[in-house]
Amino acid sequence: MMNYILPCLYAFGASFAFAIVFNIQRNKLLLSALGGMLGQLAFVIFLNVLSNQAASYMLATIAIALYAEVMARLTKSPTTIYLAVALIPLVPGGGIYYTMLYFINGDIELGASTGIETLLISGALAVGIIMVSSTVNLVRKVMLKRKARMGKKYHYGQKN
């Protein structure tokens, strides 16, 4: 159990420090760092359920992107503040390193397979963000349209 909780706490600490590096406002530091913890937590849970790395990364990214959108609406600030900080613990730094290490050790096959896995994970992160942002945009547009139509009706009603 500790093996699952400790990495989440470390991800929280690292995200908090990254929030300082990005100069995020003092009262939003904690919220953005919580996103980093949430991403790691979601990743660990999905990895245990699905035991598929790329899919778990994608679902974890979807979780943090949803968190970022909700928090951005609640605190009336840009989504990037929460998304960029929360994304960093999910970036496959280890994959990049081991790809390079296998290559300089002369193990081309292992390096190539690790490299492709790393690329796949990066793609999963991108897809996760794209899915959430596009869906949120769509919902917002539909709601704006509905609001505009209702406003018109109300306007006509007043006229009569």
Partner 1 sequence: MTGSQLSHVAMEMGIILLSNGAETYRVEESMQRICFALGAREAEIFVVPSTIIITITMPNEIPLTLTRRIHSRKTDLHKVADMNHLSRQICYESLSYDELISEIDRINAIPSYSYLLHLLAFAFIAQMFTLFFGGNFLDSCLGFIIGLGIKLQMDVMGRLETNSFFINIVGGIIASTVAVIAAGLGLTANMNTIIIGSIMTLVPGLVITNSIRDIIAGDYLSGLTKGVEALLIGSAIATGVAVPLSLLRPFWGG
- In the complex, which residues of this chain contact partner 1 (CB under 8 A)? 6-7, 10-11, 13-14, 17-18, 20-25, 28, 76-81, 83-85, 87-89, 91, 93-94, 96-101, 103-105, 125-126, 129-130, 133-134
- Comparison of 48 and 105: residue with beta carbon closer to partner 1: 105
CB 37 within 8 Å of CB 15: yes
Among 47, 49, 42, 89, residue whose Cα is nearest residue 63: 42
Residue 160 CB, nearest approach to partner 1 (Å): 29
- Comparison of 82 and 156: residue with beta carbon closer to partner 1: 82
Residue 159 CB, nearest approach to partner 1 (Å): 25
- Comparison of 46 and 136: residue with beta carbon closer to partner 1: 136
Cβ contacts of 114 within 8 Å, gap of 6 or more: 95, 98, 99, 102
